[in-house]
């Protein structure tokens, strides 16, 4: 069980020579997800060796250009690469219309099926689930409808306590699956051996919370509580609180307060305004409130 997050882009507004808008590649419990897709995402994917064929689910936070203008280009490239696997795209209502229109007008005919999951709820909801991972929305407060996403590993079966199991001659390998599934064992004498005696706890499931563009929003805290890794936008330094409120973005210290109140294990800041030349100031300010703070930078990997 593990989390590996690769930052593809982490700056706000417009692409620049060495600044790429938001995009992240998440590997969690052997699943692979692309989160947001700003301009230049597929270039960054190639640069940092993200396998195109591994991406089957794309999560778009909102329909501002610096978070999804790279999407149609990526979809076109998938077509050129003769992709056949279906692709699932999660995002705000309207993402299907704008994406299919671009593909239609450009005559970018894809052989693969694109399945859109359009979101409109202002409450957190489960939008993806398989046997390894589940994904819930984190409703945010930005200038347009926006969601963050909480990626959580599914809890694995309990581990066999072979030392204790060996003390019962009646228990054999045929019983192991039931034991790992949490069931007790009834012996021929009628004695019930509790599952807790035959197993050890599984590894604690990990979770990653992605909080895209948003103003300071305390009611997300119950959703992201105890996140092992939290990405939270911090467009401005703390002296620009008025501007952050006006544009519905967050400051360094506001992001740090969210991390502290949510008892996150680690905070990653990103979505820096282009006005700043020295992003080390972001980390310095946030650490005044939340010590375990790191900065998102293109190509940087965070692993748990």
Active-site residues, by number, are: 66
182/156 Cα distance (integer angstroms) = 11
At 5, list the tokens.
């997050």
DSSP 8-state code for residue 11? B
Relative to beta strand 133-139, strand 267-270 is unpaired
154 phi and psi angles, rounded to 5 deg = -75, 145
227/1 Cα distance (integer angstroms) = 15
What residues contact 301, with CB distance under 8 A and at least 6 apart?
A: 4, 5, 6, 7
Q: In Å, what is the CA distance from 266 to each residue of 14, 138, 232, 298?
A: 28, 18, 11, 18
Cβ atoms of residues 181 and 172 within 8 Å: no
Cβ atoms of residues 249 and 275 within 8 Å: no
């Amino acid at each position: 069980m593990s989390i590996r997050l690769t930052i593809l882009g982490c700056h706000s507004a417009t692409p620049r020579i060495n600044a790429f808008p938001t995009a992240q590649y998440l590997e969690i419990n052997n699943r692979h997800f692309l989160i947001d897709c700003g301009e230049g995402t597929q270039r960054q994917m190639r640069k940092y060796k993200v396998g195109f064929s591994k991406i089957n689910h794309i999560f778009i936070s909102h329909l501002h250009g610096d978070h999804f203008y790279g999407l149609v280009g990526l979809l076109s490239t998938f077509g050129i690469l003769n992709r056949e696997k279906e692709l699932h795209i999660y995002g705000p209502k309207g993402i299907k219309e704008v994406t299919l229109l671009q593909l239609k007008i450009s005559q970018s005919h894809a052989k693969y099926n694109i399945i859109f999951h359009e979101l409109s709820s202002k409450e957190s909801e489960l939008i993806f689930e398989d046997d390894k991972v589940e994904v819930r929305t984190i409703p945010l407060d930005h200038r347009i409808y926006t969601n963050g996403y909480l990626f959580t590993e599914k809890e694995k079966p309990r581990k066999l306590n072979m030392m204790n199991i060996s003390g019962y001659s009646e228990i054999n390998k045929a019983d192991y699956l039931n034991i790992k599934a949490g069931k007790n064992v009834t012996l021929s004498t009628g004695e019930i051996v509790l599952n807790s005696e035959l197993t050890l706890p599984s590894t604690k499931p990990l979770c990653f919370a992605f909080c895209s563009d948003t103003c300071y929003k305390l009611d997300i805290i119950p959703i992201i509580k105890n996140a092992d890794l939290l990405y939270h936008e911090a467009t401005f330094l703390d002296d620009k609180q008025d501007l952050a409120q006006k544009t519905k973005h967050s400051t360094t210290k506001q992001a740090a307060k969210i991390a502290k109140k949510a008892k996150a294990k680690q905070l990653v800041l990103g979505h820096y305004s282009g006005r700043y030349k020295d992003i080390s100031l972001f980390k310095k300010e946030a650490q005044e409130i939340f010590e375990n703070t790191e900065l998102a930078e293109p190509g940087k990997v965070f692993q748990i």
